[in-house]
Amino acid sequence: MIASVSIVTYPREELRWAFGRMGLDRPDLAKAPGLTFKRLVGTAKGTSFAWKPDLLRWGLVAAWSSEEHLDAFLADSPIVQRWHEHASEVWTMRMVPVKSAGAWGGSNPFPAQPAPPGDGPYAVITRATLRARKTRQFYAAVPPIDLDLERNPGLLASIGFGESPLGRQGTLSVWSSQQAMKDFAYGTEAHREAIRRRTQEAWYSEELFARFRPTATEGTLAGSDPLADLLAARA
């Protein structure tokens, strides 16, 4: 199997159209051959994990039974055709899940596969359903984590995302190497404290952590492809 993340950014004049496609694209997405998991998501502004919605940037997190099915979707799907007709930017990352634990919608959509040879880059997806009474604690923990993200030279991209305005939140981060990823996850006090509290205080009713090795990208995100140079060097 192969996983993918597509981030689609629209010009301001397409705001209403883009918002509507979150619902209207679902029938076409359900027809995509080989699609084993799909979530259309909104995103937070900028690179922060804090939930300040960006109504001009939307995403698709997906899993496919084969690379050929993903190829066909990107080449032929009317959804992707509409992205390129209306969006100012479309960026898609293909990636192999190499470690995954937990559940998203009742099951784990990213079973671990053999890792490609060599080191990095790496991508991480976290996703959780927040318990309503723990929402304040969760969001209070985000600002210091954002500061540590900004200080890490190995961070290539980061996006907060959500399936709903509140309660079902996730993060995507992309790293230059496994060491950079681990330095953030286990070497920063704010993130270690959040990990401890989420367990002890039972912040989530469901959660997923998945680690990936990106294999290819296309398009741009905020003006460039954050993985282009690393993937070219590895190839």
Q: Residue 220 in 3-state DSSP? A: coil
Low-confidence ranges of the chain (pLDDT < 70): 165-166, 235
Distance of alpha carbon 102 from alpha carbon 40, whole angstroms = 20
Asked if residues 162 and 54 have their Cβ atoms less than 8 Å apart, the reply is no
* 182-196 residue pLDDT tens: 888 787 777 778 778
Asked if residues 136 and 149 have their Cβ atoms less than 8 Å apart, the reply is no
Q: Residue 193 in 3-state DSSP? A: helix
Query: Can you tell me which residue has the tokens 């039972």?
Result: 202
> According to the model, what pLDDT value does residue 165 have?
66
**Domain at 2-222: CATH code:** 3.30.70.100
Distance of alpha carbon 64 from alpha carbon 9, whole angstroms = 23
Rounded to two decimals, the pTM is: 0.93
Asked if residues 142 and 47 have their Cβ atoms less than 8 Å apart, the reply is no
What the block records as the tokens of 59 is 């995403």
Residue 5 phi, psi (nearest 5): -130, 125
Sorted by where each begins, the domain ranges of the chain are 2-222
> According to the model, what pLDDT value does residue 195 have?
77
Distance of alpha carbon 186 from alpha carbon 194, whole angstroms = 11
Q: Residue 232 in 3-state DSSP? A: helix
